[in-house]
Structure 1
Amino acid sequence: MKSDLKRFGRGFIYAWNGIWAAIREERNFRFHLCAAVYIYAAAAIAGLEAVEFALISLCVFLVIQAELMNSAVERAVDKPDTSHWWSAGAAKDMAAGGVLMAAVGALCVAGFLFLQPGRLARIWAAVTATPWAVVAVLISFVIAYLFIFRFGGCSQKKGLPDADKDKEE
């Protein structure tokens, strides 16, 4: 019994390790985390109701889950032998397509929830209410940029697009 509980607990540690690895090493994962912060801020400012927040949360976590699965597939099929190059590339493309579909679905939901004149006006009014609010938003963009493009990734080659990294190695 104690052993089962210990293994069960270890599963959470492994899951956290995977999430932390994605934060450190996956630029797109960091982008989606930043997008989630902005969408939750916009939802709070716009005055979304609990059900609408729940819908936003489902979309956010679906996109994050899809990004984690995409990263897992990429790692699992990286550097196959020459007879499996095509299928490995196809698997990576399909996983990336899954992320794209989740993100497009999330954008559709966000469009239905936010593209209402009253909600857009509330968000705009909050962002531009004072010069300090504008500065805070601009600073948040800089922090998000640094987090997305400059955080972690010791193993990644800086300045190379993803497609060029494989050729360089």
Structure 2
Amino acid sequence: MRDKKRSIGLSFAWNGLLEVIKTERNFQIHLFSALTVILASMLLSLSQMEWIIIVLVIGFVFVAEIINSAIERIIDYLRPEIHPAAKVIKDIAAANVLVASFIATVVGFLLYIPKILALFKVH
């Protein structure tokens, strides 16, 4: 019985992830960005630690976007009409994604700029 509950929970989580991928434009943009970053990371031959950092910040952005999407849907369900408090809640949830994306961008610059500069270094 316990294994069945686990597989049901995993099924619900998988359905939620597929829903976000299919319906949330911003998540799709983050997914495309993540794939681009992964490709760049392969081309720049990141170390194991650098890969760990990249995977963590990509995951950080994905989690922020999923939480934002869930909050937006809850607000839309509870308060379908436009309401100032609902707008503030949605704006704060969106700020969560903005901060996560900004941190990921800074981390990317810190990791990639030295490697890109090294490519152009004349020996």
* 1:57 lines up with 2:55 in the alignment: yes
Alignment of 1:20-99 (within 5 A): 20-78=18-76, 80=79, 85-99=83-97
Q: How far apart, in 2, do the equivalents of 1:56 and 1:33 lie?
A: 14
Q: Distance in 2 between matches of 1:106 and 1:57?
A: 10
> 1:90 offset after TM fit, Å?
1.2
Q: Whose helix fraction is larger, Structure 1's or Structure 2's?
A: 2
Deviation string 1:64-122 (CA, Å, 9 cap, x unpaired) is 0110000000000015166x822211111111000000000000100000012025x5x
The answer for unaligned runs of 5 or more in structure 2 is none
Number of aligned residue pairs: give it: 117
What runs of 5+ residues in structure 1 fail to find an aligned partner? 122-169
Structure with the larger RCO, 1 or 2 (CA within 8 Å, 6+ apart): 1
User: In 2, Cα distance between the equivalents of 1:9 and 1:89?
Assistant: 36
Percent same amino acid among aligned pairs?
Answer: 33
Tell me: CA distance 1:6–1:48, structure 2 relative to 1, closer, same or farther (3 Å): same
